[in-house]
Amino acid sequence: MDAGIIITAVITVVVVVLGFILEKERDRKAKLHERKEDLYKHIVSSFKGLSIEKPDALLKQQFIDETRLTRLYASDEAIKALNELLDLMMKGEKNFEEVNGKSYQYVAHNLWGKFMIAMREDLGIKTKLSADELGRTEDTK
């Protein structure tokens, strides 16, 4: 057998195997991105269940359930931002002391904005918006 044929066959097999591996990796990344996108959509949609004016127990529970899933799929920065927000929420408005003249609502909206920025960056969306701009919710007065 000619050495050229053997080398060509080996190179062909290596290229096919590498192509298969790269395709699997692309599929895995695409599925992860889709999971993150769905997770973040559900978190944003269920956040309104935490409204002070119109709380919704079902949406609140959905928000809690979805935030637990962030530990599996979200970036480190998104998890850190979410933890800051959850810490504030667990402390509650009654136990909140104004920091540098900023109200509980202002700080909560700012932390929500930080989490929104982290989610957007995790999805590959670059933004020039600030946490204050992204943190505004429909309950903002």
Spans of all domains in the chain: 32-134
Q: For position 139, what pLDDT does the model report?
A: 54
- Please give the single-letter amino acid code of residue 113: G
Q: For position 1, what pLDDT does the model report?
A: 65
Which of 14-28, 45-59, 126-140 is predicted most confidently? 14-28
Average pLDDT, the chain: 88
* Tokens standing for residue 32: 């992860």
Helical H segments across the chain, by residue range: 3-46, 57-73, 76-91, 104-122, 131-134
117 touches 78 (CB < 8 A): no
Residue 102 φ/ψ, nearest 5 degrees = -100, 135
Q: For position 138, what pLDDT does the model report?
A: 61
**Rounded to 5 degrees, what angle do the CA atoms 96, 59, 118 make?**
65
Q: How far apart are CA 66 and CA 58, in angstroms?
A: 12
Question: Which pTM does this prediction carry?
Answer: 0.77
